[in-house]
A and B are shown apart, each in its own frame.
Chain A
């Protein structure tokens, strides 16, 4: 299950970060396992990321995080590392859905992105819908109930398994 409280350091990135730099396309049919995907996370964006990231850390970005290819490895590689949440001013829509489907918290909050800097320690309360930063607290709205249900199952794999088991 997904932790309800997430605490971690901020990795801060800009606008329009695309999935080619989150997980390069040349690996899409040759790197298959999540652990191997994790080794290439943000490879072409921030070479220091893999060396220094710790489980629970939080990625923050400007607008349109995850634009470009639909490749889900760009979510899975970060989930595998143990990224606690991604907070952005906005997300590319397929990336956003991929986050929900992999139960990686994706929070849209333009205000909080402006208020933090790299390395800040953040606390995210998913149930209360609140992000606490060194400079103050910010609230974010809940997911629609039918979407929250997918998240609560731990992602779309478990949700679909649950649905299929009820059909039998």
Chain B
């Protein structure tokens, strides 16, 4: 008998089945149901379904992060509705304005654990796969139904195994690895599939770097993506985990729809050019493109290590005149650590503008949307036309070093050009 992939094993466990194979349908109960500013809309659907009490309030985790602090009365009223629902339902895992981005805080708070099922009404829910969870994005109506019934149907996905070996050259990060895979396989390269990350390069990465990979696999259409659970994962969760957990490891002889081998040493800094994430070009081809603003933040690249990289480049230098450099830490925990170790002071002294932990201008709600025809270099994960709120603007995506170097130079640049 052939072995099983992570997806097959974790879904079989939660469906109480002896074994499941790709293509079969599993009915499972989630360990976590994540929602954010869209929780008011979900609550309305929940009530329209005849829902009165959520199935298990301990499963719910609600974060206000998409438009925080609220830019308009409408946004503030939306938050009010959510707070009232949280109170009414007795939901303990509620993270109000300023605590940070749902995907980051869910992991920090020990609410997405190895071997668990995470459902989220957000397309970047696969992020939680960094902890070896099976994490899947769903829509609002689906989330309302999960709140009511406590279960969901999931098709067991085929799996892709990506093995990465070797060391990154200077200036190359997990972001470039993710962009390289998306460039090679396209925006639908992992459609409906589960992406597993294997290999010594992944093992050597920090949790922060690892987080980028499952997060970005949403841009390849993946259903979920996961990092193998190791001692680093267990150490990270040792003081954080809210409950006992049991990791799931893919079998050595599992059957994959596709296996990909990557030599990290062969990679170079990459940029996703407007207006799609798979429109990837080498930094060297785009070098010199004039920018109006740089944005360092988001669930993809707004962690402490990313801020450290920015500070290491911009310390003693300045943001280019006429360029805005927005820095928005992904969580309050990160902001606090970055204040304590002097990182924020370094960034502010160089002319950066600091925002409240949250999604910021990533999807165009507020706090740094570009002007007509302006160009943004961003550490986010998505650059669709109009994404940041302005149809005529252009969004380039890159790693934090390139974002910061570009903020210093005033055009698309790498760290070697500003040091």
Contact = CB atoms under 8 A, between A and B. Distances in A.
Query: Does B bind A?
Result: yes
Interface of A: 15-16, 18, 20-21, 24-26, 28-30, 32, 44, 63-64, 67-72, 75, 90, 92-94, 97-98, 101-102, 144, 146-147, 155-157, 159-161, 163-165
A20 to B, nearest CB: 4
A97 B139 contact: yes
A29 B67 contact: yes
Contacts of A75: 139
B188 interface: yes
B41 interface: yes
Nearest to B218: A68
A164 B139 contact: no
A20 B384 contact: yes
A64 B74 CA distance: 33
Interface of B: 25, 27, 37-38, 41, 45, 48-51, 66-67, 72, 74-75, 78, 121-123, 137-142, 144-145, 148-149, 153, 187-188, 191-192, 221, 223, 276, 278, 363-365, 382, 384-387, 389, 391
Interface of B is mostly: loop
B221 to A, nearest CB: 6
Contact of B49 (A28, A97, A164): A164
B51 A68 contact: no
Contact of A21 (B72, B123, B278, B384): B384
Contacts of A92: 188, 191, 221
A91 B377 CA distance: 29
Contact of A64 (B49, B188, B384, B387): B188
A93 B74 contact: no
A26 to B, nearest CB: 4
A69 B187 CA distance: 13
25 contacts: A16-B187, A16-B276, A16-B278, A20-B385, A21-B386, A25-B363, A25-B365, A25-B386, A26-B364, A28-B38, A28-B363, A29-B38, A64-B187, A68-B384, A70-B121, A72-B141, A93-B223, A94-B138, A101-B145, A146-B25, A147-B153, A156-B142, A160-B49, A161-B49, A164-B50
Contacts of A101: 139, 141-142, 145
A30 B142 contact: no
Contact of A70 (B137, B187, B364, B386): B137
Nearest to B386: A44
B56 to A, nearest CB: 14
Given A16-B276, A94-B138, A164-B148, A29 B50 contact: no
Contact of A156 (B37, B141, B365): B141
Nearest to B222: A93
A29 to B, nearest CB: 5
Contacts of B382: 20, 68-69
Contacts of A64: 187-188, 191, 221
B63 to A, nearest CB: 14
Contacts of A70: 121-123, 137-140
A50 to B, nearest CB: 15
Contact of B141 (A21, A68, A157): A157
Nearest to A30: B74
Given A20-B385, A70-B123, 10 more contacts: A18-B384, A20-B384, A29-B67, A30-B75, A64-B191, A68-B382, A94-B137, A98-B139, A160-B50, A161-B48
A94 B38 contact: no
Contact of B140 (A67, A72, A93, A159): A72
Contacts of A24: 364, 386, 391
Contacts of A147: 25, 153
A21 B385 CA distance: 7
A33 to B, nearest CB: 11
B384 A160 contact: no
Contacts of B66: 28-29
A22 B387 CA distance: 11
Contact of A161 (B50, B188, B278): B50
A63 B185 CA distance: 13
B141 A98 contact: yes
Ordered nearest first, which 4 A-B pairs have the shortest CB separation? Answer: A64-B188, A25-B363, A98-B139, A20-B384
Contacts of B384: 18, 20-21, 68
Contacts of A21: 384-386
A30 B38 CA distance: 11
A90 B220 CA distance: 13
A163 B149 contact: yes
Contacts of A15: 188
B145 A25 contact: no
A23 to B, nearest CB: 10
